[in-house]
Structure 1
Amino acid sequence: MKWPGGATGGAPHRRQRKKLPPRREHWLFSIQAFIAGVLSLAIAFWQDLPRPYWALATVYIASQPLMGATFSKSFYRAIGTLAGAAMAVLLIPNLVNAPPVLVLAVAFWSGLCLYLSVLDRTPRGYAFMLAGYTTAIIGFPAVDAPGEIFDLALARTEEILVGIFCAALTSSLLFPRSVGPAVAERAMLWLADARIAAFDALRETDASLREAHWVRLAGDTTKIEALAEHLPFEPAADRVSLPLVQSLVPRMLMTLAAISAIRDLTYELQGLGGPSPRMASLLARVESALTSSSGASAAARCTIEAYITALGDVKSWGELVELNLAIRLRDLAALFADNSALVGALASDRQGANIPLVFPIDVDASRIRHDEHARALIAAATLSSTLILCCAFWILTSWPDGAAAAMMAAVAGSLFATQDDPVPSIRKFGVWSAVAVAIAGVYLFVILPKAHSFETLALALAPTMLVFGLLIAEPKTFVIGVALGILMPTTLALQGAYEVNAQAFLNTGLAMVTGMAMAAATTAVLRVIDAEWRLAQFIRANNRSLAEVADIRGRRNDAYLLALMFDRLSTVAPIVQSADEDMPDAMRQLRAGLNMVEARRARAGLSTQARRRLDAALLRLRKSYRRHAPLDQRELGSLNRAIRALSPNDPADRTALLALLGLRRCLFPEAEPLQIASSGGVP
């Protein structure tokens, strides 16, 4: 069997993640962003735009290391900017004489946009977020001159569009990096890690190590899918990769479920005295396939199929477990074959229409998503409350620079709203924003007085802006780079001629940092959800889906329900990784759902008595899941009765029986084995 990334001999090679210095790609991205920034400044000066520095800051907001990501962020930033500017033009002139009403209107609008942004976990969500805080950025500084709001909004939009244009232009012309090869590279690494996880599932490995594998694999699947969301913005040659990824992602998650099931079954076999000699031989051959780069997956599947066919009558619980294990191994081999074919097509830019896929999967390739309405609502309410409190302080104290504090509170409160605990990121953003103000001060009072032309200005900016680009290119320092890249140019406030006002500079810088501090404080008080709460909500949502799957009389779309559970599993993994929580029951719930669907589809071919027992077991599970009640001996007894009504040696019963066995193992892993009657049935 051909497993990607194969090493020869012993356990598969474990991928080590080391801290590396800035790579060549990081330097190229930084140079690319700097050239785009200088070009945007030149265009802004040439067109005599009132705030050229906004064009420069926009470049460092929109620029991404990959071309498709830059295009998508630029596109949605343009849409969000236009919507936010239009709302500012609508609200400011009409409500400026009623400050409390204006504050409430902007707070409501920003909260509504953030609510939609948190719900929409695609690049499109960025447009909603931009529409919200752009209204604050344009509107609050204009309250003293509401008659100029249209000109201000138009100028700000032009400056941002110039920055977007320059970022997109340089991304496509200078050192372009496409999303497609990056997706293929990550997918190949994922397959190598999956091979290690499958190897560990067949061995007596540490439970925490297996847990870390599953969490990382599910989290990497989410990252691959998120990266692939930018493929529609790539050139036509790279967009063909999108259907391949849509076929690959559900199979990746199904691979994790198969590995989890195999681990459970091998563990159960150990409790029954170990595998039989024939099963031990089959497991050894599978292990050999996992550590070898030679051989064909079709031959490996034929070997497993031959083992299943040669089993004959099942006469013991152990033989039944071995039959189930062999079928799961066959599924795993088929999934790895499909994954290898799809990743190979990604790497070679081949279209997926003619790729023969072995493992059928009916989960919607468009990836139906689970909506976290409560989380989005809390994030929106927190942002609205932050704006109301900040603006109230501004109004009550008649703070001249309160507008800067309010708009930065809106920015900081929005940028990190999707995190479970955004406070550390907001604090980091605020601290490095203060550093940006200090750097801007050095430029304003020491360096810029000596710059007498645009060329010398560009040379003076080069060292710091290149460093900012390197920080943005590295995910671990992304927040630092964005804080410096946004706040240093905007605080510096570059104009066509050198102008300096020390008092205004200090007051504006202090107001910006204060606004972010207020955002952090308000968020710390009002964000009452954490990772543990989110995990519990996912489990409850899965219970509701399982209740629908178990409803034999209901009308449901199995593919839709399973797609929801796939999405929840891929969403749970990054939460577990970032919060250092234990992996919840999402994997077992997904396996339970798959087994229930399989059992329900096989019920039509069962005898009347067997079908009644199966229906009774599913309906009892449905009641428990609807109540979110823990499963007990009543559900186990109902499953046992359904299993006893089926014969492992009857082809009509076997599919339903194996599905019920898998369901029993998922829900009651500590349950005692049942006895097999001499006739081959379960008494």
Structure 2
Amino acid sequence: MADSRALGARSPFDEVRRAFFEWARSDGVTWVYIAKLLTAAMLTLWLAMRLELPQPSTATITVFIVMQPQSGQVFAKSFYRILGSIVGLTVMVALIAVFAQERVLFLLVVSLWIGICTAGAARYRDFRSYACVLAGYTATLIGLPATLHPEAAFLSAVWRVLEIGLGILCSTVVSAVVLPQTSAAAMRNALYTRFGAFAWFVLDNLGGGQRERFAAANVNFVSQAVGLETLRTATAFEDPHMRLRSGRLARLNNEFMVLTTRYHALHQLLERLRSQHSERVLDALQPCLELLREMLQPWKGKPLTDRDAALLARQLEEQRQQMMQCIREARAELRAKVQEVSERLDFNTAGELIYRLVADLHNYALTHASLADHHHERENWKFGFSPKANLVGALVAGARTAIMVLVFGVFWIETAWPSGSTFVLNAAAVAALVSAAPDPSKMAAQMAVGTLIAAILGFAETYFVFPYLDGFPLLCVALAPVFVIGAYLSVKPAYAGVGMGLLIFFCFGAIPANMTVYDAGRTINEYIALVLSQGLAAVIVGVLLPPTSAWLWRRLEKDLRMRVVEAISGKLSGLGATFESATRDLLNQAYGLAARRPDVQRELLAWMFLVLEVGHAIIELRNEQERLPDEPCYAESMPWRQAIRSMGRALIRLFVNPNEANRERALAAVEHAILSTKATEETCAPDFESSPLRRVVSYLHFIRTTLLDPQSPLRADRPVEVRHAA
């Protein structure tokens, strides 16, 4: 009875406490961010008015643009915003000095500059993209109005830098001081949870598993790799301790990508053996797979701290030797039972993949454990993440924006519209801002909706609320509801464009300048220019070679295939790191662009898997050849080396122009390389671990099985249902 009374007295409080912490971890984080955004915006507005800056709206808009949930992201975005703004202003002042007397020629040069900046924004999708956006947008914002008053251009540029600097200062201070959410903490959390999720993924799929779940998990790992690189860049601006570990963090990210590639290759090989009913090979591999399960089982779903990583590294050092012995015993047992050469090759290839996977796990654990030290030899990692964008897609985005600015500018000149400069510069700004979005037309349309709402609210507050206000506190009361609504919408992915359009263009039209002029006709003209330019920008982006159409998917698919060509012919130093990161970055882009087409996403995912399998095997093969002893049987002129070079040329033809005839030629070249390598006698003992040529044969055999895979996108005869399940 007493226990039940105690439980009854404790239960309501516990439920309320549990509910509060659940809310704090989800919606609470969002509302803390909104409160910080509101605080930074009001502080910036107050200082801008106290300092009598000409356009307090510009400083406030800067807050809404650079403010992010994590302080490291705010620092990084602020740095690139001020950098892009200074570059844009410098270029525009120079252009005004040269072309101010001729508006048409000035407009032509400005459109070219904005096109170049937009192409850069599409080419670089990290914070450098934002610097390119600002270099173009800021130049337009100063340059177009200055065509009417060129003598004021330099002073306008100075005021612009001061207003942006004030917004950046307030944003960074509030973000770092008020309930800070650091990028370093997010980075640590991502690192701690990622290995446990990978262990779960391996154990869940080692015996088979559902193809859809397997593919979805791989897509998630791809996005994590790209996202972790962005976090690493942000933490370098925020935390000196993380900056000291920047090289190790880049190395750790690369080693995790290698882990996922290696396991995917093993999984695919095991799936092929199961589909071919190679029971004897699978039975021989079973002890090795069981040992792999024992290694990962204690870490399934468990956070991996630096101390845990050191323990894992020590365990894996011992278990690597156990795995090697297990593979040797299984190979000897299979050799005594099986005479089929192909089954022996299958076992050797799978055994090599398993052993390399354990070695990759050990390397990953060592690098993770090294993060506990401020300085470590593993910091000496010079191969960072290498993003890869399609050059043609970036040039199309730049050309589209340049044409838009030129056409809109001609319309402004011909009609002498008083708000024509707003019409042109806003179209340029929107086109540049959405250039890096997966669906630019949708984002521009959302911003147009947000701007329409901003126009209605801005006009209402300017002419029906502000005249009755007295003092800054009441101004804050009038602005706060709009800011909160816009901020809330901006953190929801489905309405992010609406929220940003509302925040930016409400400030643009409604926040009073330090010399306020009430002119209803001018205000209506400005809002018409804003809404019309964004609507037209959405239409043009959606009609003129939109990035969500098939032309760019095909280009990105080709870029994926060309990664194999790079693996064959590229410089070997650092090739593994650049190959892994660039392939995943391409897939991450293509997957976002094809969000409306699941069938295209599946096809692109199949290509990425194929490229990773073949490319990684080729890089391992090249590394193996690079380490060959200086003996006659390994000489460049040997027939097996020539056969491998011929195979490389055949694979290049296949991935440049994938068709059945080129696949058959490549398959014949691989088989010839296998036979030539097996026919070569080595002077050293022919044990697998001490025989480079046997390892070479295992890599060649893996490439062969990949080309024979009935689910491969290279196969023209694969069933339709397989294509849509790949």
Asked whether the two chains share a fold, i.e. TM above 0.5, the reply is yes
Q: Please say if 1:279 is aligned against 2:298.
A: no
Q: In the superposition, relative to structure 1, how do residues 87 and 284 fare at CA in structure 2: closer, same or farther (>3 Å)? A: same
The residue matched to 1:367 in structure 2 has which SS? coil
TM-align CA RMSD: 3.0
Q: Kindly, what percent of the aligned residue pairs are identical?
A: 21
Q: CA deviation at 1:438?
A: 1.8
Query: Among 354, 367, 380, which residue is 1:329 paired with?
Result: 354
1:405 aligns with 2:423: yes
Counterpart amino acid of residue 642 in structure 1: A
Secondary structure (helix, strand or coil) at the match of 1:435 reads helix
Q: Structure 1 residues 370-379 or 280-289, which shifts more?
A: 280-289
Is 1:563 the counterpart of 2:593? The answer is no
Match of 1:674 in 2: none
Could you tell me how far apart the structure 2 residues matched to 1:278 and 1:318 are?
Answer: 11
Aligned runs of 1:162-181 on 2, under 5 Å?
162-181=166-185
Report the alpha carbon displacement of residue 141 of structure 1 after superposing the two structures with TM: 2.5
AA partner of residue 346 (structure 2): V
Amino acid paired to 1:573: N
| Structure with the higher fraction of residues in helix conformation | 2
The CA deviation string for residues 84-113 of structure 1, in whole angstroms up to 9 with x for no partner, is: 223332333543442221211110111112
Quote the offset at 1:441 in angstroms.
Answer: 2.5
**Distance across 2 between alignment mates of 1:229 and 1:531:** 31
Q: What's the offset of the Cα at 1:212?
A: 1.4
Offset from partner CA, 1:149-196 (integer Å, 9 cap, x none): 222222222212211111122222222222111122223443344234
**Whole-Å Cα distance in 1 between the matches of residues 513 and 492 of structure 2?**
31
One of 656, 669, 675 as aligned partner of 1:638: 669
Q: Secondary structure at the match of 1:527?
A: coil
Using the TM superposition, give the Cα deviation of residue 70 of structure 1 relative to its aligned residue in structure 2, in angstroms. 0.9
Q: Which of 152, 165, 178 is equivalent to 1:161?
A: 165
Question: What are the equivalent positions in structure 2 for 1:284-433 lying under 5 Å apart?
Answer: 284-293=290-299, 296-313=315-332, 314=335, 315-316=339-340, 317-340=342-365, 342-343=367-368, 350-351=373-374, 353=376, 365-433=383-451
Show the 5 A alignment for 1:24-423.
Answer: 24-92=28-96, 94-270=98-274, 271-274=276-279, 275-293=281-299, 296-313=315-332, 314=335, 315-316=339-340, 317-340=342-365, 342-343=367-368, 350-351=373-374, 353=376, 365-423=383-441
Q: Distance in 1 between matches of 2:348 and 2:643?
A: 22
Preserved CA contact (<8 Å) 1:140 1:407:
yes
8 Å Cα contact 1:193-1:213 kept in structure 2: no
Q: Distance in 2 between matches of 1:488 and 1:21?
A: 31
Decide which moves more: 198-207 or 558-567: 558-567
Structure 2 matches for 1:475-624, cutoff 5 A? 475-496=493-514, 500-530=518-548, 532-547=550-565, 549-550=567-568, 556-560=571-575, 563-564=578-579, 566-577=581-592, 579=594, 580=598, 581-582=601-602, 583-603=605-625, 604=628, 606=633, 608-624=638-654
Structure 1 residues 21 and 613, CA gap change in structure 2 (3 angstroms): closer
Question: Distance between the aligned counterparts of 1:628 and 1:244, measured in 2?
Answer: 38
Give distance in 2, aligned partners of 1:560 and 1:125.
Answer: 25
Q: Say whether the 8 Å CA contact 2:146–2:153 is kept in structure 1.
A: yes
Q: Distance in 2 between matches of 1:247 and 1:25?
A: 31
Question: Is residue 439 from structure 1 mapped to residue 457 from structure 2 by the alignment?
Answer: yes
Identify the range of structure 1 (646-655 vs 28-37) with the bigger mean alpha-carbon deviation: 646-655
**CA deviation map 1:435-485 (0-9, x unaligned):** 122222232233323321112222332333234334444555433332222
Q: Name the CA shift for 1:144/1:515 in 2 (closer, same or farther; >3 Å).
A: same
In 1: Cα distance, 2:208 partner to 2:43 partner: 59
Give me the whole-angstrom Cα distance separating, in 1, the residues matched to 2:491 and 2:542. Answer: 29
In structure 2, how many angstroms separate the alpha carbons of the residues matched to 1:352 and 1:533? Answer: 48
Change (3 A) 1:632 1:80: closer
TM-score, structure 2 normalization:
0.81
Counterpart of 1:119, as a letter, is R
* AA in 2 matched with 1:509: Y
Residues 567 and 579 in structure 2, CA contact (< 8 A), matched pair in contact too: no
Contact 1:368 1:560 in 2 (8 A): no
Post-superposition Cα deviations, 1:112-153, rounded to whole Å, max 9, x if no partner, equal 122223223442232222111111112222333222222222
SS, match of residue 64 in structure 1: coil
User: For 1:287 and 1:116, how far apart are their aligned partners in 2?
Assistant: 46
Distance 1:338 1:457, change over 3 A: farther
Residue identity matched to 1:653 = L
| TM-score normalised over the length of structure 1 | 0.86
Judging changes above 3 Å, is the alpha-carbon distance between structure 1 residues 496 and 627 closer, same or farther for their aligned structure 2 residues? closer
Secondary structure in 2 matching 1:431: helix
Deviations 1:398-443 (A, max 9, x none): 2111111111101110011123431011001111111122222232
**Distance in 1 of aligned mates of 2:64 and 2:442:** 22
- Asked if the contact 1:82–1:131 (Cα under 8 Å) also holds between the matched residues in 2, the reply is yes
Equivalent residue number for residue 11 of structure 2: none
Q: Distance in 2 between matches of 1:154 and 1:445?
A: 31
Is the contact made by 1:138 and 1:152 (CA closer than 8 Å) also made in structure 2?
yes
1:473 & 1:148 partners in 2: Cα distance? Answer: 38
What is the number of equivalent residue pairs in this alignment?
644
1:680 maps to what in 2?
none
Larger RCO (CA under 8 A, 6+ residues apart): 1
List aligned pairs for 1:459-478, cutoff 5 A. Answer: 459-478=477-496
Aligned partners of 1:64 and 1:473 also within 8 Å: no
Task: Tell me, yes or no, if the aligned pair for 1:542 and 1:565 is still in contact at 8 Å.
Answer: no
C-alpha separation between the residues in 2 aligned to 1:297 and 1:281?
17
Residues 1:404 and 1:421: Cα distance change in structure 2 (over 3 Å): same
Change (3 A) 1:103 1:613: closer
Q: Residue 13 of structure 1 corresponds to which residue in structure 2?
A: none
SS of 2:208's equivalent in the other structure is coil
Are the counterparts in 1 of residues 199 and 296 from structure 2 also a CA contact under 8 Å? yes
Give the drift of 1:328. 1.8
Q: Which amino acid aligns with 1:259?
A: Y
- CA spacing shift, 1:50–1:620, aligned 2, 3 Å: closer
